[in-house]
Structure 1
Amino acid sequence: SAAKLFFAYGLGNALTFPMSVGATTVLNPERPTPAAMFALMNKYNPSIFYGVPTLFAAMLNDESLKAQRGGARLRVCTSAGEALPESVGNAWKTRFGVDILDGVGSTELLHIFLSNAPGDIKYGCSGRPVPGYNVRLVNEAGADVPDGEVGELLVDAPSAGEGYWNQRSKSRRTFEGHWTRTGDKYIRDADGRYTFCGRSDDMFKVSGIWVSPFEVESALITHPAVLEAAVVPEADSEGLLKPKAFVVLRAGAKTDGLDGALKEHVKQKIGVWKYPRWIETVEALPKTETGKIQRFKLRDGDTAKP
Structure 2
Amino acid sequence: MSQPAAVLPQRFNFARHLLELNTERAAKTAYIDDHGRMSYGELEQRVRRFAAGLLASGIRREERILVVMHDTNDLPVVFLGALFAGAVPVLVNTLLHAEDYAYMIEHSGAKAVFLSQPLLSCIKEALRKTDARPELVVSGSTLGEQGLFDMADLLAAEPLAMTACANTHADDFAFWLYSSGSTGRPKGTVHSHGNLFWTAELYAKPVLGIGSDDTVFSAAKLFFAYGLGNNLTFPLSVGATVILMAERPTPQAVFKRLVEYKPTIFYGVPTLYVAMLASEELPRKEDVALRICTSAGEALPREVGERFRKHFGCDILDGLGSTEMLHIFISNRAGSVRYGSSGQPVPGYDIELRDDRGQPVAPGEIGDLYIRGPSAALMYWCNREKTRSTFIGEWLKSGDKYTMDADGYYVYSGRSDDMLKVSGQYVSPIEIENVLIEHPSVLECAVVGKTDAEGLIKTAAYVVLVKGQSGSPQLVDDLKAFVKGKLAPHKYPRDIEFVPELPKTATGKIQRFKLRALQG
Give TM-score, length-normalised by structure 2.
Answer: 0.57
1:203, 1:213 within 8 Å by CA — same for their partners in 2?
yes
**Aligned counterparts of 2:412 and 2:425: Cα–Cα separation in 1:** 16
Matched residue, 1:48: 265
CA displacement, residues 36-60 of structure 1 (integer Å, 9 cap, x when unaligned): 1111111110001100001111100
- The alpha-carbon distance between structure 1 residues 128 and 54, as it changes in their structure 2 partners (threshold 3 A), is same
Matched residue, 2:405: 189
Deviation at 1:217, TM superposition (A): 0.8
Matched residue, 1:8: 218
1:202 and 2:423 are equivalent in the alignment = no
1:124 and 2:340 are equivalent in the alignment = yes
Q: Which deviates more, 90-99 or 1-10?
A: 1-10
Matched residue, 1:172: 388
**Aligned counterparts of 2:461 and 2:484: Cα–Cα separation in 1:** 14
**Aligned counterparts of 2:287 and 2:215: Cα–Cα separation in 1:** 12
1:289 and 2:506 are equivalent in the alignment = yes
Letter of the structure 2 residue corresponding to residue 250 of structure 1: V
Find the residue that maps to 1:242 and give its secondary structure: strand
Structure 1 counterpart of 2:242, from 17, 25, 34: 25
RMSD across aligned positions (CA) = 1.4
Matched residue, 2:359: 143
CA displacement, residues 1-57 of structure 1 (integer Å, 9 cap, x when unaligned): 672100112222212211211111112221211111111111110001100001111
Letter of the structure 2 residue corresponding to residue 7 of structure 1: F
Please give the residue correspondences for 1:193-232 in structure 2 after superposition, counting only pairs within 5 Å.
193-232=409-448
Please give the residue correspondences for 1:153-164 in structure 2 after superposition, counting only pairs within 5 Å.
153-164=369-380
Letter of the structure 2 residue corresponding to residue 182 of structure 1: S
Structure 2 unaligned runs (5+)? 1-27, 29-211, 222-226
Find the residue that maps to 2:340 and give its secondary structure: coil
Letter of the structure 2 residue corresponding to residue 295 of structure 1: R
- The alpha-carbon distance between structure 1 residues 101 and 281, as it changes in their structure 2 partners (threshold 3 A), is same
- Aligned-pair identity (%): 53
**Aligned counterparts of 2:452 and 2:286: Cα–Cα separation in 1:** 46
1:174, 1:180 within 8 Å by CA — same for their partners in 2?
yes
Give TM-score, length-normalised by structure 1.
Answer: 0.95
Runs of 4+ in 1 over 4 A off after TM superposition: none
CA displacement, residues 213-235 of structure 1 (integer Å, 9 cap, x when unaligned): 11111111111111100011110
Higher-helix-fraction structure:
2
**Aligned counterparts of 2:214 and 2:324: Cα–Cα separation in 1:** 28
CA radius of gyration, larger in: 2
Matched residue, 1:83: 299
Q: Which deviates more, 134-143 or 266-275?
A: 266-275
**Aligned counterparts of 1:287 and 1:70: Cα–Cα separation in 2:** 32
**Aligned counterparts of 1:273 and 1:93: Cα–Cα separation in 2:** 33
**Aligned counterparts of 1:180 and 1:212: Cα–Cα separation in 2:** 22
Matched residue, 2:478: 261
**Aligned counterparts of 1:292 and 1:270: Cα–Cα separation in 2:** 25
**Aligned counterparts of 1:75 and 1:195: Cα–Cα separation in 2:** 25
**Aligned counterparts of 2:269 and 2:424: Cα–Cα separation in 1:** 32
Deviation at 1:72, TM superposition (A): 3.7
1:277 and 2:277 are equivalent in the alignment = no
Deviation at 1:150, TM superposition (A): 0.3
Matched residue, 2:142: none
